Structure formats: structure tokens, C-alpha cells
Amino acid sequence: MGNRRRYLSFIVQLVFLFVPICVSAFDSDISESARSSIPPPRTDATSWLLTDVGTGMIIAAENADKRVEPASLTKLMTAFLVFREIARGNVKLEEEVIVSEKAWQTGGSRMFIEPGDRVSVENLLLGLIVQSGNDSAVALAEHLAGSEAGFADLMNQTSVEIGLKNTHFVNSTGLPHPDHFSTARDLSRLTRAIIQEQPAHYAYYAIPAFTWNGITQKNRNPLLDRDENVDGVKTGYTKSAGYCLIGSADRSGTRLIATVIGASSERDRANLVYALLKYGFAAYESHHLYGDDTVIVTVRIFKGKTDSAPAGISQGIDLLLAKGLGKELEAKVQLVEPLVAPIEKGREVGTLTLQLKGEPLLSRPLVSLESVPSGSWFSGLADSVRLWLR
């Protein structure tokens, strides 16, 4: 009996040792030294991902590259393409689209347009984004590409352009098809492209309701009513995909995207997305350290028309760190010496290293931000002596 009790006690200890490992297991782009000790919320969704828009870093994720059915999240790409053509001047918001029989017959969620109706592109976009209308998605696809199949080709070309690596579209709606798939990572990347590349049109995703044909439908994203910081993005559902939602919020200059695929109910998908957003804002903060072409140091130039030049980084640096860690950042500069003219603008002249708690976190090349041509023969001779004496 005593041996059996000791055996059971040993099993219980193993279980308790194992549980924290399971709970804390998640993917992240954030290095261990910069990561928060607060764990992300637990979820039973098929896959999920929390992204910082400014840096593009994944804060936390699970099954981010698992192939999933995107359902109506597909309409994010449909809207992205329409808004892109509007920005290019190829389509106008006010131009009319004649609704086809095919668009009218499309099943699932609807805007309730009728065959032969003349509907503006803007109203179809409202039906697409706010009401999640499959009929409006097909009408827009046919207007832009002549057919939904042709539009799907454009969707796939655009997927490659913006770096969606595990996505393939067959239709503009998200209705189930074995060759129509994506991942939480790709859908988050698409959402980030919408936010960053189409800021003038992003406000459409926060419109609370839209009325067409005498029928008012509320935006299906319940988080718009829950938190004023939430301003998008899109819901999705099919029986095979489960309940899906991508939400985005901005708080104090930090914008996050939370993607949940395959939740068990409408309520669960909303709660999971909201919990992820709250976690991200509670555990992390963004730091804008340097802008593009920021001068970091002035470097000594020998045998040049001038004896110094500004050096810096060509691309700005933004970091996402666990709250409170910003004060522990240090910047270290290492220069290539000596620097002898001529020096071309953009030439690498050293390295900038950011350290956190004394450990390297990020390195960027330092480049000359100005060109320095060779100086006179006399100044060159004088600097030759100085270099010899170094």
C-alpha cells in the first residue's frame, strides 16, 4: 500500500511539473530577454496569433501556420483589392455596378441586392465589410475582373506580392472549397497590410451598421461595442471553419492585431480576441527609438574635403518590449577606423548595437549620411602624417 501511495504521489508531481510547460508553450518573435513574464490567455481555438502592427512582430501564437478555412475573413482580401484599385484611380466609389444573376444567387450571408440593380461600389463595399455580404463580394469581383474566377487569380497574385506564403483563394466570399485556404499568420499579415497601406479606407471596418433594401444589419464584430479602442476588423464563420474573428485596437500609439480561427462559438471568438488584445496592451509597450536617416554619431574622416561626416541608420528602429524594460536599453557604437576619403553616402562605417540587460538585442549597420570627397593634396599629406602617428 505504501509503495502504491508513493507511486501515485510521483505521478501527481510529474503532472504538476508538466502543466506549466504546456500552458507557457507558444510561438513568439520576441527574444526571451525582452519577453513579458505574463503568459498569454489560454484558448482552445484551432489557431490564434497576436501581432504588433508597428514592428510586425508576433507577440504570441499557436498553430500560426496551420492550414485553415478562412471563411468570410476572405473578404479582407476582396476589400483590399477593391480599395487598391480605387487608390490607383481605376475604380471610383461612386461608379455603379450592375448586379448579376450569379451574385444574387450566392448563398450564405447577404446584403440583399437584386439582379439588375445598379449599386455603387461604395455601397457594395459597405455590404461586404459591414454586412459580410457574399452577394456583394461576387458583384465586386465581377466588376473588377469580369468574373469571380478571374478575381480569384488577382487575389492569389496579390497574396504573393504581400508575402502570404500559405494562402490560396478560389472565390471572393470564403464559401467552403477544398482548395481555398489560409493560415492565422497570413491573415494577420493581410490585415496589417490593410491598416498600413490603406489608412484612408480602414475606417470602413468600424462602421457599426448599414441599411440596404430596407434591411439594417449591424456590423458582426461585437468588439466595436465593447471597447472604443477596437476599430476592426472582420468576422467569419462556416460549419467546417468554426467561428473566426480578427480584431484590432490602438492604445497610446501601440496597435495590435488579434486573430482567432476555429473558436467554438460567437461568444468565445469575441472573448478570445478581446483577451488577447488586453493581454498585449497589459504586458508590452512599443518604443520608437530612431527614425529613418537618424544621425547617431559624427565620424572622423581623413584626407577629405571635410574632416567629419554624420553617420546613422538608414531605416528607423521600433521595438516592442515587456513593460518596464525600456529603461534597461543601452546603445553601443563600434566604428570602422580609420575612415579615409572619398566616402560615398550610404557606405557602412560601423555598427549600432542595442543591448538589453547587457545582452545584445539588435544590431544595425551605421552608414555615412553624406558623401565626403577627397580633400586637397596638402590636407591629404597632413592626414597621412596623423594616420602614421596613430
Does residue 7 have a pLDDT over 60? no
pLDDT tens, residue by residue, 309-330: 999 999 999 999 999 999 999 9
Which tops the pLDDT comparison, 306 or 376?
306
Pick the closest to residue 171 from 188, 191, 187, 155 (CA basis): 155
**pLDDT of res. 339:** 83
Which grid cell is 137?
A: 463580394
**pLDDT of res. 383:** 53
Q: Residues 302, 338: contact at Cβ < 8 Å?
A: yes
Average pLDDT over residues 329-350: 92
Least confident interval from 11-25, 172-186, 193-207, 241-255: 11-25
Spell out the residues 6+ positions from residue 377 whose beta carbon is closer than 8 angstroms to its own. Answer: none
DSSP 42-54: P--SSEEEEEETT
**pLDDT of res. 337:** 85
Cell numbers 496592451: residue: 281
Alpha helix positions (H), 130-167: 134-145, 148-161
Distance between CA atoms of residues 205 and 68, nearest Å = 23
- Count of H-run helices and E-run strands, the chain: 10, 17
By annotation, the residues acting in catalysis are 72, 75, 132
| C-alpha distance from residue 284 to each of 23, 105, 247 (Å) | 19, 47, 17
pLDDT tens, residue by residue, 266-305: 999 999 999 999 999 999 999 999 999 999 999 988 888 8
Least confident interval from 144-153, 190-199, 305-314: 305-314
| C-alpha distance from residue 153 to each of 85, 109, 141, 145 (Å) | 15, 23, 11, 9
Pick the closest to residue 284 from 316, 245, 255 (CA basis): 255
Domains defined along the chain, listed by start = 26-285 (3.40.710.10), 291-389 (2.60.410.10)
**pLDDT of res. 91:** 97
pLDDT tens, residue by residue, 253-269: 899 999 999 999 999 99
pTM recorded for the entire structure: 0.88
Which tops the pLDDT comparison, 60 or 4?
60
pLDDT tens, residue by residue, 222-238: 999 999 999 999 999 99
Strand (E) or helix (H) holding 236 = strand 230-238
For the chain, the first-to-last Cα distance in angstroms comes to: 82
Cell numbers 545582452: residue: 359
